[in-house]
Structure 1
Amino acid sequence: MPDPQRIVSLLPSATEIVAALGCAEFLVGRSHECDFPQEVAGLPIVSRPRIDIHASSAEINRQVMQSARNALSVYDVDTAMLASLRPDVIVTQDLCAVCAVSLEDVEKAVCDLTGSDVDLVSCRPTKLAEIWTDIRRVARALGVTKRGNELIDRLTLAIEGIESQARLIEPKPNVACIEWIDPLMAAGNWVPELISRAGGTSLYGQAGKHSPWLEFDALAMADPDVIIISACGFDIPRSLAELPVLTGKDGWADLRAVRDGRVYVTDGHQFFNRPGPRIVETLEILAEILHPGRFAFGHEGSGWVRL
């Protein structure tokens, strides 16, 4: 790294990328959602949600939709705190205005920092290859391009190792991966690609495309072999608390995955919805779930549980 920099990360996956590049010591601020690695917990927080993130999934969705109708952001950026931190680099995202502070929000905040010369780095991954692109983008901004390439090589090697084993396993289970519980939304973006690499067939969502809404009747008609709950921003206990709205639906008990005991709840907060270095752990979780007894990475109980 040529010169010490002052980095503010407004995206959990970006914080993990910065840390994986060996630059965690240069982080001076974070978003309210950045919680890994643990040493970032003590950093000043420069964003906060305008909605009640502890509400039910249905109520969160209602508040988000209301904000969208009123052309309001879901998050606030603390411009005074941001100014006091004097960042050289701010890492944010330009993919989803619901998942994290948007690029537009940050641009407005930076405009308020008169005389500020800040390098804005925006992550926008929709598939695996674009996660690598974001790692390169962040590494270049931090002056550690070589480390970025080395990190990508390590992650790619780990993914290829799992994929090469999963490719040999038959049959390939049909998988419904649920990203939001009420209303139902299937997982899109990089998740269908990960399911395929883990040796499954994703019934919903397309690699590189936004997550699609899903009707329960369509889920019942497809009757997947495996159902995976990976609710965005929800850990396992939070998802389990929300599940009765889904498991109480007429026809739930008749689904093949339910009858066969192949419904799984994952930590959608730490995995699945963080397009950073721990995308490998997400693939490991999928491999463990889709092929019981064939893969054992130690994620059961912490990364996923059987319902």
Structure 2
Amino acid sequence: MRMMRIVSMLPSATDIIAELDLLDSLVGISEDCNWPPEVAGKPIVARTRIDASGLTSAQIDQLVNDSKSESHSLYAVDAGLMSELKPDLVITQDLCEVCAVSSGDLTTACPIGVEVFSMNPRSFDDVVESVIALADKLGVHERGVAVADAMRAKVDAVRGAVAGRRRPRVFVAEWVDPPYGSGHWLPEMVEAAGGVNVLSKPGEYSFATTWQAVLAEKPDVIVLAACGFNLQQSLERTRDLRLPVRTIVVDGDAHFSRPAPRIADGIRQLAHLIHGDVVADPGLPYAELSLEKVGTPR
């Protein structure tokens, strides 16, 4: 039986494909697909139009907003390479035009007759179910169920460990300048980890706010989980940020903003950070920023 040829425009789908042990079927990826390390040699079919390497968080936010207001795509899809790769299935999303290639970006780039599969989870349960849905699409239902069960088991263990404890108020920022309140599954991650999520609601989109508004909610902990940034990239953009609240920088790209199996590990990390005496450190990278003792940041 011929192996299915898959192009993943979606980092979370690439994560899931790896967990399903199907990386050999993956013939093309987007530039943002960076895990596991084995995907590094795969042909890159889509690249972002913005080089964020030398930009501040505020500059990136402005460029993204300008592109959205002018209806310009943030991604360029290589139609020629797509044709050469001859995929049977192209995986994309329509949840966030900023986070990854959307189906609209593929209108003129996909070879005729190629199936496009869009993944759009909005909640933690949706993320778990999306693992099974993709596994079904790829003909490996049992593997998908096993991965989904492992995710649920990790989270259930955390819920059990923090049950009955005082719940600190937690603000998770999906961006730093301006701060963005977390959306979709992230508020659920805080709740599962034994915290009270501040400002945002489960299933809704992230939104820009101010640090004054955040601090007015009296959070006990602020977690900076910048969408699309690993820990080092986030630290480079928060070196001057000082808040009068315990502030922790994490790898938002790997364990928070990407709707894939590793968000279960993100929940374990959150729980350790706010209930460290009962939840063991899962070994994920993070850093704490110095406190600002006087004044209110802008």
TM-score for the superposition, normalised by structure 2: 0.92
Matched, 1:13 2:12: yes
Partner of 1:51: 50
Runs of 4+ off more than 4 Å: none
**CA distance in structure 2 between the partners assigned to 1:78 and 1:15 by the alignment:** 18
Deviation at 1:263, TM superposition (A): 1.3
Q: SS of 2:107's equivalent?
A: helix
Partner of 1:199: 194
Q: SS of 2:248's equivalent?
A: strand
Matched, 1:286 2:270: yes
Matched, 1:272 2:256: yes
Partner of 1:83: 83
Aligned Cα RMSD in Å? 1.5
Q: SS of 1:148's equivalent?
A: helix
Alignment of 1:1-307 (within 5 A): 3-54=2-53, 55-110=55-110, 113=111, 116-168=112-164, 170-244=165-239, 246-247=241-242, 252=243, 255=244, 257=245, 262-299=246-283, 302-307=284-289
Deviation at 1:237, TM superposition (A): 2.1
Deviation at 1:223, TM superposition (A): 2.0
CA displacement, residues 146-178 of structure 1 (integer Å, 9 cap, x when unaligned): 22122212211121111111123x210000111
**CA distance in structure 1 between the partners assigned to 2:160 and 2:207 by the alignment:** 29
Q: One-letter code of the match for 1:277?
A: P
Structure 1, unpaired ranges of 5+: none
Deviates more, 1:18-27 or 1:234-243: 234-243
**CA distance in structure 2 between the partners assigned to 1:200 and 1:140 by the alignment:** 34
Are the aligned partners of 1:285 and 1:303 in contact in 2 as well (CA < 8 Å)?
Answer: no
Q: One-letter code of the match for 1:138?
A: L
Are the aligned partners of 2:92 and 2:116 in contact in 1 as well (CA < 8 Å)?
Answer: yes
Aligned residues: 288
**CA distance in structure 1 between the partners assigned to 2:66 and 2:247 by the alignment:** 32
Are the aligned partners of 1:47 and 1:77 in contact in 2 as well (CA < 8 Å)?
Answer: yes
CA displacement, residues 281-303 of structure 1 (integer Å, 9 cap, x when unaligned): 1111101111123222342xx52
TM-score for the superposition, normalised by structure 1: 0.90
Are the aligned partners of 1:92 and 1:121 in contact in 2 as well (CA < 8 Å)?
Answer: yes
**CA distance in structure 2 between the partners assigned to 1:283 and 1:69 by the alignment:** 34
Q: 1:292 to 1:150 in 2, by over 3 A?
A: closer
Deviation at 1:83, TM superposition (A): 0.9
CA displacement, residues 91-129 of structure 1 (integer Å, 9 cap, x when unaligned): 11111000111111123311xx2xx33221111111111
**CA distance in structure 2 between the partners assigned to 1:5 and 1:136 by the alignment:** 17
Deviation at 1:245, TM superposition (A): 5.5
Are the aligned partners of 2:161 and 2:279 in contact in 1 as well (CA < 8 Å)?
Answer: no
**CA distance in structure 2 between the partners assigned to 1:119 and 1:77 by the alignment:** 16
Q: 1:29 to 1:268 in 2, by over 3 A?
A: same
Are the aligned partners of 2:94 and 2:103 in contact in 1 as well (CA < 8 Å)?
Answer: yes
Q: SS of 1:205's equivalent?
A: coil
Partner of 2:292: none
Deviation at 1:275, TM superposition (A): 0.6
**CA distance in structure 2 between the partners assigned to 1:130 and 1:213 by the alignment:** 24
Are the aligned partners of 1:10 and 1:92 in contact in 2 as well (CA < 8 Å)?
Answer: yes
Structure 2, unpaired ranges of 5+: 290-298
Identity of aligned residues (%): 36
Q: 1:107 to 1:149 in 2, by over 3 A?
A: farther
**CA distance in structure 2 between the partners assigned to 1:108 and 1:147 by the alignment:** 34
Deviation at 1:232, TM superposition (A): 0.8
Q: One-letter code of the match for 1:306?
A: E
Q: SS of 2:229's equivalent?
A: coil
